[in-house]
């Protein structure tokens, strides 16, 4: 008991102080990182600025925790009579050996650095990484975490995808194809579609989201379909608002078409009989 008491007095107190210092360093570091990044990041769009800040803060906080607790462990081990010199030497040898077999991890780290510094996407963005699409829930040096509409969570190493498409960077486009019957007055249809888009852009809350009113692209149809004339409709919105904006636009457009008796065609087929038919 005397030996235990002596050890606790000499070493136990030091271990407690070292661990407490680690907690304090992490807490103070988080505050410093948060304030520094929020002062340094400037963007015209407050929502984009916040997503960028949250992404960088999460990454730097993760690095801070790893460094601080590694230092805490290396400081605490000598208190238990464990020499860290051989551990460091062994870790160096193991690191060299693992380096040849863990090139993919180095690739992930380098790709993660490029994603962060080039600001390719942030937490809160909707992206497609190759064929996997979803909302970005987390970005670290090693991986990106996506959640799709079904709620599936994907952990994707940063070096594993070749193409990253950001659907919500700076602004988003509300795009859809529209088909009307061949019998309709095309100029009347185009004017009505543009009118619905202009009216929607002037009403709350949509005027807060829409940057460019939804309207028909170009002076005429994009193609002649099997059942109707096809038009391309396009507008610009704030990031992440394109889907709700399009849903509301479709609802209003259906109401406007019903009032003007404009037909939205459905697939039709003409049948030409051959041979002799009896009455």
Q: Mind listing the pLDDT tens digit for each residue in 4-61?
A: 666 667 777 788 888 899 899 989 988 888 888 777 776 666 766 777 777 788 878 8
pLDDT tens series, the chain, 279 aa: 777 666 667 777 788 888 899 899 989 988 888 888 777 776 666 766 777 777 788 878 888 888 888 888 888 887 777 777 666 665 565 565 555 556 677 788 888 888 888 888 888 888 999 989 999 988 888 889 999 888 899 999 988 888 999 988 888 889 999 999 989 999 999 999 999 999 999 998 999 989 999 999 988 888 898 888 999 999 999 888 889 999 999 999 999 999 999 998 877 666 777 766 665
| Dist. CA 165–CA 276, nearest whole Å | 59
Whole-prediction pTM value?
0.61
User: Residue 112 has which token pair?
Assistant: 């993660």
Give the class (CATH, top level) of 2-101.
mainly alpha
pLDDT at 268: 64
Residues 6+ apart with CB under 8 A from 144: 115, 121, 129, 136, 138, 155, 156, 158
Give the class (CATH, top level) of 116-166.
mainly beta
Pick the CATH number of 172-259 from 3.60.40.10, 3.30.70.100, 3.40.50.300, 3.90.1170.50: 3.30.70.100
| Dist. CA 208–CA 202, nearest whole Å | 9
One DSSP character per residue, the chain reads: -HHHHHHIIIIIHHHHHHHHHHHHHHHHHHHHHHHHHHHH---SSHHHHHHHHHHHHHHHHHHHHHHHHHHHHHHHGGGGT--HHHHHHHHHHHHHHHHHH-HHHHHHHHHHHHHHHTT---TT-EEEETTEEEEEEEE-SSEEEEE-TT--EEEEETTS-S-EEESSSS-EEEEEEEEE-TTS-HHHHHHHHHHHHHHHHTSTTGGGTEEEEEEESSSS-SEE-SSSEEEEEEEEESTT-HHHHHHHHHHHHHHHHHHTT-------------S----
> Do residues 184 and 166 lie in contact, with contact meaning Cβ atoms separated by under 8 Å?
no
| Dist. CA 178–CA 175, nearest whole Å | 10
**In the chain, where are the structural domains located?**
2-101, 116-166, 172-259
> Do residues 182 and 140 lie in contact, with contact meaning Cβ atoms separated by under 8 Å?
no
């Amino acid at each position: 008991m005397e030996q235990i008491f002596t050890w606790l007095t000499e070493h136990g107190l030091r271990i407690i102080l070292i661990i407490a210092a680690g907690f304090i360093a992490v807490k103070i570091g988080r505050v410093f990182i948060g304030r520094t990044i929020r002062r340094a990041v400037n963007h015209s769009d407050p929502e984009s600025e916040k997503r960028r800040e949250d992404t960088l803060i999460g990454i730097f906080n993760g690095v801070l925790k790893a460094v601080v607790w590694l230092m805490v462990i290396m400081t605490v081990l000598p208190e238990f009579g464990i020499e860290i010199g051989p551990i460091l030497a062994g870790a160096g040898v193991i690191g060299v050996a693992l380096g040849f077999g863990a090139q993919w991890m180095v690739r992930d780290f380098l790709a993660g650095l490029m994603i962060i510094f080039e600001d390719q996407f942030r937490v809160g963005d909707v992206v497609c990484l190759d064929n996997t699409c979803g909302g970005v829930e987390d970005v670290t040096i090693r991986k990106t975490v996506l959640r799709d509409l079904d709620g599936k969570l994907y952990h994707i190493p940063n070096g594993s995808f070749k193409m990253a498409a950001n659907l919500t960077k700076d602004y988003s486009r509300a795009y859809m194809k529209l088909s009307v019957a061949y019998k309709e007055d095309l100029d009347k249809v185009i004017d009505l579609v543009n009118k619905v888009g202009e009216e929607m852009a002037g009403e709350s809350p949509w005027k807060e989201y829409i940057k460019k009113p939804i309207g028909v692209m170009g002076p005429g149809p994009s193609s002649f379909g099997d059942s109707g004339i096809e038009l391309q409709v396009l507008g610009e919105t704030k990031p992440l608002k394109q889907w709700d904006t399009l849903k509301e636009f479709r609802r209003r457009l259906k109401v406007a078409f019903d009032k003007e008796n404009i037909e939205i065609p459905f697939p039709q087929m003409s049948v030409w009989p051959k041979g002799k038919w009896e009455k």
